[in-house]
A = this chain, B = another copy of it.
Amino acid sequence: VWLKLLRKGRLRHLFTNGELRALDEAIDQTIPLAPRTIVIEPVIRPRFLHYIVQGSLARYIDDCFGDRRLVAVGMAGDFVDLEGFALERYDYCVGTLEHTILARIPHERLAQSISLFPQIKMALWCATSLDGAAHREWIFRLGRLRGEARIANLICEIVERAKLVDLYDGKTVPIPLLQSEFAQACGMSSVHANRCFRALRERGALCCTGSGQIDIIDEAALKRIGQFDDDFLYAEGVSTNEISNDRPVSSYRPFESTGELAGRITMRQSHRLRGVEI
């Protein structure tokens, strides 16, 4: 079964065995791709949903000067182009980062599977929402952290996601991004990315082996430097953890009502989501 990693990754709570089998049967073909091959471009009209069986890829946007920014990375167990099913167009490109195998599901067959197992639609919608949460993490990373921390934070994200699908060997960063691609993902020049890597190396957080792969020496240090919060949305199940503080409507504090909260709460004093220490 091609989709078996759905049982492990971020989406593991979303699919029953029946739904998984239905999705699996909707697979049209599996596609082996060479490293650094373009998979999706905005000029392509979406007709298929793709799933990463093996390998990794990057979603990116180029501007008119040829400058590229990565907006997401995908690894085995992730869907590639969920947006294409609902939106019927792409606003980004996708390229493989290594030898990669995709499973392809034609949209029509996906629609059939959904009509048999309506919960599949909810699960894929949920997966889309998770993509959104990942995007918000990227926005936060770019807006909040300095160069070295951005690199460290991205590495932490990649490692934590890889752990979920058993693709982290305890040492090597499991996605073969070049330094220049880290730069494109973290919003800096490749020269500066190189200096950030040197700083992380000198701190003993990681080391760059010859063949372009990056080995993690001190994961805790990386998380500290990158202000990475283990506990964020990816790493947890999404359906079971009920959150306690279940407040009634009055917490909205409409006009002319103090509600249950004392006085006026400005946005500035709001809840702190990310419990990170440095």
Contact of A273 with B140 at beta-carbon distance under 8 Å, contacts A87-B238, A125-B125, A252-B37 already known: no
Contact of A87 with B126 at beta-carbon distance under 8 Å, contacts A62-B274, A71-B139, A95-B270 already known: yes
Q: Are A129 and B43 in contact (CB under 8 A)?
A: no
Q: Are A38 and B267 in contact (CB under 8 A)?
A: yes
Cβ distance A238 to chain B, nearest Cβ, rounded Å: 5
Question: Could you tell me the distance between the alpha carbons of A227 and B251 in the complex, rounded to whole angstroms?
Answer: 41
A274 contacts across to B, CB distance below 8 A: 61-64
Cβ distance A215 to chain B, nearest Cβ, rounded Å: 25
A270 contacts across to B, CB distance below 8 A: 38, 41, 62, 93, 95
Q: Are B130 and A254 in contact (CB under 8 A)?
A: no
A33 within 8 A of B: yes
Pick the residue among B62, B133, B139, B254 that contacts A32 (CB under 8 A): B254
Cβ distance A253 to chain B, nearest Cβ, rounded Å: 6
Cβ distance A170 to chain B, nearest Cβ, rounded Å: 27
The binding surface of chain A is classed by DSSP as mixed
- Which positions 207-253 of chain A face chain B at CB distance < 8 Å? 227, 232-233, 238-239, 241-247, 249, 251-253
Encoded as 1 (CB less than 8 Å from any B CB) or 0, chain A from 79 to 120 comes to 000110011110111010000000000000000000000000
A204 within 8 A of B: no
Pick the residue among B36, B86, B87, B92 that contacts A266 (CB under 8 A): B36
A128 contacts across to B, CB distance below 8 A: 86, 125, 128-129, 132
Q: A83-B129, A121-B125 are in contact. List 13 more A-B contacts (CB 8 A).
A: A32-B255, A37-B265, A42-B273, A60-B267, A62-B272, A62-B274, A63-B276, A66-B272, A67-B144, A72-B136, A83-B132, A128-B128, A138-B139
Instruction: List, sorted by A's number, 20 A–B pairs whose CB atoms are closer than 8 Å.
Output: A32-B255, A38-B270, A42-B271, A43-B244, A58-B267, A62-B271, A62-B272, A69-B140, A71-B140, A83-B129, A86-B122, A86-B125, A88-B238, A91-B136, A128-B129, A132-B132, A138-B139, A139-B142, A142-B143, A142-B187
**Interface pairs A-B: 8 shortest CB-CB:** A143-B187, A135-B135, A142-B142, A95-B267, A86-B126, A69-B143, A83-B129, A43-B245
